[in-house]
Chains A and B, each alone.
Chain A
Amino acid sequence: MIRRKFISTLVLSVLMCFAAAAQDFSAGALLYPGQADSSDVAAGWRFRSEDRARVVQEGRGLSEGFFDAHTLLHLSGHSALRGSATYRRGVKRGVRWNSTSDFDLLFPYVLADSVGGDLQTETYAFGGAYARRLGDWTAGLSGNYRALHEYRQVDPRPRNITSDFEVDASGGRVLGAYALDLTLGYRRYFQSQTVSFINQRGANTTEFHMTGLGSHFGRFMGTSAYTSTYYRGQGFRAGASFSALSDDGWRGSVFFSHTAFVRHLVNQNQAPITRLGVSRLTASLYWLSHRGNNLLQAGGDVACSLRSGSENVISNMSTGSFGTLMSLPMYERKSLDARIFGDYHHPVDTRSGFALRPTLYVRASRAEHVYPARMAEMLVLAATVRAGYDRTFPSSWRLDAGLTAGVSASPAHDLSLPEAHTMPRLLEDMRLQYGVLTDTRADAGADVRISRSAGGKMRVYLRGIYLRSFYAGGYAARHAACAVGLCF
Chain B
Amino acid sequence: MMRSVFSYVAAVVLFLTLSGCSKERQVFCDLTLRLVQPDGLQAVTVRIDNTLPGNVLRNYNTGQNYDFPLFVNGAANLRVLKGVYLIAFDGVATLSDGSVRTFRFSGYNAPDKAVSILDDVQTVELEVRAL
Contact = CB atoms under 8 A, between A and B. Distances in A.
A183 interface: no
Contacts of A317: 111-112
Interface string A268-282: 000000000000010
B113 A316 contact: yes
B113 A318 contact: yes
A370 B63 contact: no
A313 B27 CA distance: 11
B78 to A, nearest CB: 13
B118 A326 contact: yes
Nearest to B84: A316
Contacts of A329: 23, 26-27
Contacts of B16: 304, 306, 334
A328 interface: yes
A318 B112 contact: yes
Interface of B is mostly: mixed
Interface in B103-131: 111-116, 118
Interface in A464-486: none
A313 B114 contact: no
Interface stretch (A39-47, A130-138, A215-223, A349-357): A215-223
A371 B24 CA distance: 9
Given A217-B61, A219-B63, 8 more contacts: A217-B63, A219-B62, A220-B61, A221-B63, A316-B84, A316-B112, A317-B112, A326-B118
A314 B84 contact: yes
Interface string A348-388: 00000000000000000000101110000000000000000
Given A313-B118, A316-B111, A368-B20, A325 B84 contact: yes
A332 interface: yes
Nearest to A331: B23
Interface in A295-340: 304, 306, 308, 311, 313-318, 325-326, 328-330, 332, 334
Contacts of B61: 217-220, 311, 313-314
B83 interface: yes
A3 interface: no
Interface residues of A, number: 31
Contacts, number: 75
15 contacts: A211-B62, A215-B62, A313-B61, A313-B82, A315-B84, A317-B111, A318-B112, A325-B84, A328-B26, A332-B19, A334-B16, A370-B23, A371-B27, A371-B28, A372-B64
Interface string B58-74: 01111110000000000
Interface string B10-44: 00100010011001101110000000000000000
A317 B118 CA distance: 16
A106 B9 CA distance: 27
B81 interface: yes
Interface of A: 211, 215-221, 281, 304, 306, 308, 311, 313-318, 325-326, 328-330, 332, 334, 368, 370-372, 421
A313 B84 contact: yes
A332 B18 CA distance: 12
A311 B64 CA distance: 14
A172 B111 CA distance: 58
A146 to B, nearest CB: 29
9 nearest A-B residue pairs (beta carbon): A218-B63, A316-B114, A328-B27, A318-B112, A219-B61, A316-B84, A313-B83, A371-B81, A317-B112
B17 to A, nearest CB: 9
A145 to B, nearest CB: 32
Contact of A370 (B24, B111, B112): B24
Contacts of A325: 84, 116, 118
Contacts of A368: 20
A316 B27 contact: no
Contacts of A370: 23-24, 27
